[in-house]
Amino acid sequence: MRRSDLGEFEEIVLLAVAALSPGAYSVVIAEELEKETGQTVSTGAVHAALQRLEQKGYLQSSLGEATQERGGRRKRLFTVTNFGGKILSDARTVRNNLWDRIAPGELSKMGLNVSGL
């Protein structure tokens, strides 16, 4: 499995698309990420990530409806492809496996709060 072509930001964007499906497009994704991370996320960055993910075949897109706030411009809606879903779950499996191998005692020793897990 080639994990290297999924960057961290890309992974988060891909996850966000999956979470916001079926109404996922740049604006809502960026807003969602801002809310989750508490940091400003520019539309351009999200757009670039979406473009890359689509090129890699993890996403597919179609043009949606236009609204007044958009100045009559249509939006591009994204959905996760089967391949994209597989990549996401692969990534999750890798992480879960690693998390599971950490002994609970170790985590509190490191000063991590594990109660939330």
Partner 1 sequence: MTSLPPRWLDKLATKICAPHLREELLGDLHERYALRYQRSGARKARTFYFREVLALLRPSVMRRKPSSHDKVSLLSPEILSNYFKIGSRVLVKNRAYSLIHITGLAIGLWACMMVATVVIDSLSYDRQWSRADNIYRILGVNNRGNSLLERSASSPAPLAQELMRNYPEVEACSSIETELMHFRLRPKNSEAIEASILTADSTIKQILDFKLVAGSFQIPTGNRWKLLVTRSFASRIFPGQNPIGRTIYQAPNFGSEPSPYEITGLIEDLPYNSQFRTDVIRLKPIKHEQLAGSKYIMFTNNYLLLKPGTDVSKFTSKVNQWYAGVMKNNRDRFEFQPLQDVYLHSDFAEGQKVRASAKTIYIFAGVALLLLFIACVNFINLSIAKAAARVKEAGVRKILSGSRSQLVIQLLTETMLLFGISICIASLSYIFSLHSVENFLGHKLAMTFSSNLPMAVAALLIAFLTAILTGLYPALVVSGSKPGHMLQGKFNASLGRNRLRKTLVVAQFSISVIVLVATIVVRQQLDLMKNKELGYDKNNLMGIEQISWNGKGEAFKSELQRIPGVVRSSLTMWMPAEGAGNMQREVKNPADANRRLRVWYIAGDVDLPATLGLKLVKGRMFSDRFADALNADSLQKEGFEKFENAQKNQNSLMTATAAKMLGIKELDIPSEGAHSVPVGVVGDFHNESFYEPMKPTLILAQKSPEYAGMLIRIQPGTEMQVGTAIGKLWKQFFPEKLLRISNIEDKLTKQYEAESKLHQLFMFFSGLTMFLSALGIFGLVVQAAEQRSKEVGIRKVLGASVSGIVALLSRDFVKLVLIAIAIASPLAWFSLEKWLNHYPYRTTVSWWIFVATGAATLAVTIFTVSFQAIRAALADPVTSLRNE
Residues that bind partner 1 (CB under 8 A): 25-27, 30-31, 40, 42-45, 47-48, 51-52, 63, 66-71, 73-76
Helix axes 8-20, 26-37, angle to 10 degrees: 110
- Smallest distance, partner 1 to C-beta of residue 14, A: 17
Measured from the CB of residue 85, what is the shortest distance to partner 1 in angstroms?
Answer: 24
State the CB neighbour count (10 A cutoff) for residue 109: 9
By beta-carbon proximity to partner 1, the closer residue of 18 and 45 is 45
Whether the CB-CB separation of 23 and 77 falls below 8 Å is answered with: yes
Q: How far is the CB of 46 from partner 1 (least distance, A)?
A: 9
Both tokens of 105, joined, read 């005692």
